[in-house]
Structure 1
Amino acid sequence: MSELPEVVAVQEESQRLGLAASAAELHGGLCGWLAAGGEDVPEWPARVLSDDSLPAPAPGGALDRLRQVSASQLGDRDFAFELLLAEEGAPLAVRADALFEWCRAFLGGFGLAAGARPQLSEEGEEALQDLARLAQASSGDFDSADEDESALAEIEEFVRVAALLLHGDCVLGPRYRQRLN
């Protein structure tokens, strides 16, 4: 189970459950939560969206698969982690806005799970600050389609690596240190 569910499937289940979040926001929040060491639990939307009244996703449904695949990808040593942003073929502005939504939600989930002062490496601190800057951006910051297509791909790759780095600082590093002791 290494493929993320389709954006449309995540959107549909999100709407059925009454979650007021896009697929990108849900995935970003979930990944931030997991990267900071938040529990991998079936009722993750209630934790990540900080609303205990939210229902748990159906076992095997799109949101449950989103959790399982995201947790697996974050811990994968082959760096197979992917971002769930917008439907393939969506306009550049839609994809860019989805990426910036993902970043905002990642920061929210990360903050909820990590608390006020997570122990981060210097690179982790930098990555978190860069994600915060990206969270303030919008698709209006793009001008030329060709250059922007390339820039968006670079930003996506940076965000992907930043999430893995933060997961390494908060989850994998402490796990490794525990095994050494």
Structure 2
Amino acid sequence: MTKNTMPDFNEVTRVLESASLMVGAAEFHGVLAGLICAGVKLDATSWEAPFNDLVNEGFGLPAEVKKLATELYSTICVQLTDGNMAFTLLLPDDEQPLDERAEAMAQWAQSFLVGFGMMQSKLNQAPENIQELITDIRDISQVSLDFEQEDEESEIAFSEVSEYLRIGALLCFNEFGQPLTPIKDKPTLH
């Protein structure tokens, strides 16, 4: 995984299941994105405590999961700060049934709000468009996106909603996000 590329949804699912965590891949990514977009300090460790609180009841993560979370955190930070609007949601790929993708998208939205809400206590002071956006994300997280058939119209609707969430996360980050703090190397002893 490069610093700007999301890992495979199925691989994230495998890692989380092997650690017996009760969180799915979309939720895992949504919480991280929510924390970052709400203003957690973008350094090597500030995200860990609130993330552990939300996904593992405050306990540390197993080594493989922590490695994955750290990589995802770095990727999200790069995507949000690089100025290319490259941020993407971690969802099942297009070959999966639309119902599964829609459910994962709703889980992502709900988890984004959980992470966002943990860090952002000044939402009522945010511009009206951001407050409306958060209300929309809440509504998306509560909607049962049950597609009776997989047709072009349903695929378009899914794409539009996921794009709205993607742009919404970017807008939240632009409003509340912190600048990326470079990780300083330890001094070399000679």
Fold agreement, TM-score > 0.5: yes
C-alpha distance 56-122 of structure 1, shift in aligned 2 (>3 A): farther
1:46-85 alignment runs, 5 A limit:
46-49=52-55, 51-55=57-61, 57-58=63-64, 61-85=67-91
Residue deviations 1:74-127, cap 9 Å, x none? 222110000001134100100011101100000001001113646422221111
Is residue 161 from structure 1 mapped to residue 170 from structure 2 by the alignment? no
TM-score normalised by the chain length of structure 2:
0.81
Q: Read off the aligned partner of 1:20 and give its amino acid letter.
A: M
Give the number of the structure whose alpha-carbon radius of gyration is greater.
2
Asked whether the 8 Å contact 1:70–1:81 carries over to 2, the reply is yes
Residue 90 of structure 1 corresponds to which residue in structure 2? 96
Unaligned runs of 5+ in 2: 180-190
Asked whether the 8 Å contact 1:30–1:48 carries over to 2, the reply is no
C-alpha distance 85-25 of structure 1, shift in aligned 2 (>3 A): same
Superposed displacement of residue 153, structure 1: 0.4
Q: Read off the aligned partner of 2:33 and give its amino acid letter.
A: C
CA-based RMSD: 2.3
Residue 108 of structure 1 corresponds to which residue in structure 2? 114
Percent of aligned positions that are identical: 28
Residue deviations 1:23-51, cap 9 Å, x none? 00111111011100124537364044362
Residue deviations 1:39-72, cap 9 Å, x none? 4537364044362114265498433211110121
Unaligned runs of 5+ in 1: 176-181
Equivalent residue for 1:43, pick from 26, 40, 48: 48
SS in 1 for 2:177: helix
Asked whether the 8 Å contact 2:16–2:65 carries over to 1, the reply is no
SS in 2 for 1:49: helix
Mapped to 2, the partners of 1:43 and 1:17 lie a distance apart of: 17
Asked whether the 8 Å contact 2:27–2:108 carries over to 1, the reply is yes
Aligned residues: 172
Q: Greater relative contact order (Cα 8 A, min sep 6): structure 1 or 2? A: 2
Residue 32 of structure 2 corresponds to which residue in structure 1? 30
SS in 2 for 1:123: helix
Asked whether the 8 Å contact 1:4–1:65 carries over to 2, the reply is no
